Amino acid sequence: MEGGDVMSQALSERFFQKGSGFLGVRYPFIAGAMTWVSEPGLVSAVCNAGGFACLAGGNAPAPVLEKQIGDTRRLTDKPFGVNLITIAPAYPGHLELVSGMKLPYVIFAGSFPREKEVRKARDSGARVLCFASEYSIAERMLGYGADGLILEGSEAGGHVGYVSLMVLLQQVLFRVPDVPVFAGGGIATGRMAAHLFLMGAAGVQMGTRFAVAEESTAHPRFKERFLRARAREAVATPQYDSRLHVVAVRAIKNRAHDLFGRLQLDLIRKIDEGAVEKAEAQARVEEFWVGALRKAVMEGDVENGSLMAGQSVGLVDRIQPVSEIMRELVGETEAELQRVRERLI
């Protein structure tokens, strides 16, 4: 079935039904939100190819995000989501904006939204997706009114939690069978996706593979570094002191990764000496990644910029149009489901 006619994918269509119905798309493959990467061109390309994509709010000024939403709407008539980073300074303005624009889907990320924030998004008519890093968080988000969950394992790129997808599936997916649950982290192939569908996942989220898509506006040097990377090169940043909170960031190891470690140690020393307040030190930690990510994605500085990538980067070996990626994912999913069926008969 690989490379075949996706119109006749009978088995996969059965497993796609839950996620496709929830998202209003043909194929429940989600291109996750990536700051500086998930812009209107890439988002609309994924949606027009039958998938679902999330526009990254990041920390953009609200008028910029409003324009991007408008641009995306002009490029596709298909559903898409807007990803809001709850810890971003621009977050309150973003939430007001999307609530007024009556978007079909809002995804809360970064940290966990308050109940009133979930309700505000839902009251605007949006379906809400929240990330869950463990079962208790899943219960809380569903109690707040979330319509679906995203389980993102520590294998993913960017800001990540500390639990692998393998464990999250057992902690959460198996315990909430009636809730649309989308799995992400370390996934790059339809063959792997097929087994997640068999486990009960409503769909699959990917970031790294779409970051190097032909339609991605990321700098050519950024994409080329991804294609050369091995899975073990995508490492998470450590936290050296509990007084300086660091949300782990998984990225390809380079000079920026080392600089971030030195920055933490320098700030800890200054906190000990009373030369800097903890709040200021925390702000400098957060500012580092904002600037470093832009350097890599937009300017192609692959040494001093942040190359946020999941461990699936070791499985990405070529630049492809989004439509080809989607056909491949669907074809591989169908082929694997057929293989499993044959083994069970």
Residue with structure tokens 């044959």? 342
pLDDT of residue 286: 78
The predicted pLDDT at position 8 comes to 46
Q: What's the CA gap between 129 and 169, in Å, rounded? A: 17
Q: Which residues, in sequence order, are CB contacts of 222 under 8 Å at separation 6+?
A: 211, 296, 297, 300, 302, 305, 307
Q: How far apart are the first and last CA of the chain?
A: 19
Distance CA 257, CA 307 (A): 9
CB within 8 A of 90, min separation 6: which ones? Answer: 57, 58, 59, 60, 61, 62, 65
The two tokens of residue 159 are: 């800001």
Q: Would you tell me how many other CB atoms lie within 10 Å of the CB of residue 335?
A: 20
pLDDT string in tens for the chain (345-residue length): 444 444 444 899 999 999 999 999 999 999 999 999 999 999 999 999 999 999 999 889 999 999 999 999 999 999 999 999 998 889 999 999 999 999 999 999 988 999 999 999 999 999 999 999 899 999 999 999 999 999 999 999 998 888 999 999 999 999 999 999 999 999 999 999 999 999 999 999 999 999 999 999 999 999 999 999 999 999 998 888 888 888 888 999 999 999 999 999 999 999 999 999 988 998 888 788 778 889 999 999 999 999 999 999 999 999 999 999 999 999 999 999 999 999 998
pTM: 0.93
Q: Report the pLDDT value the prediction gives residue 214, as an integer from 0 to 100.
A: 98
Task: Using DSSP, state whether 85 is helix, strand or coil.
Answer: strand
d(CA 175, CA 152): 16
Which pLDDT belongs to residue 176? 94
Give the chain's domains with CATH numbers.
Answer: 6-218+316-344 (3.20.20.70), 230-299 (no CATH)
In contact, 242 and 268? CB cutoff 8 Å: no
Per-residue tokens: 124: 């605007």
Tokens of 145: 């009114």
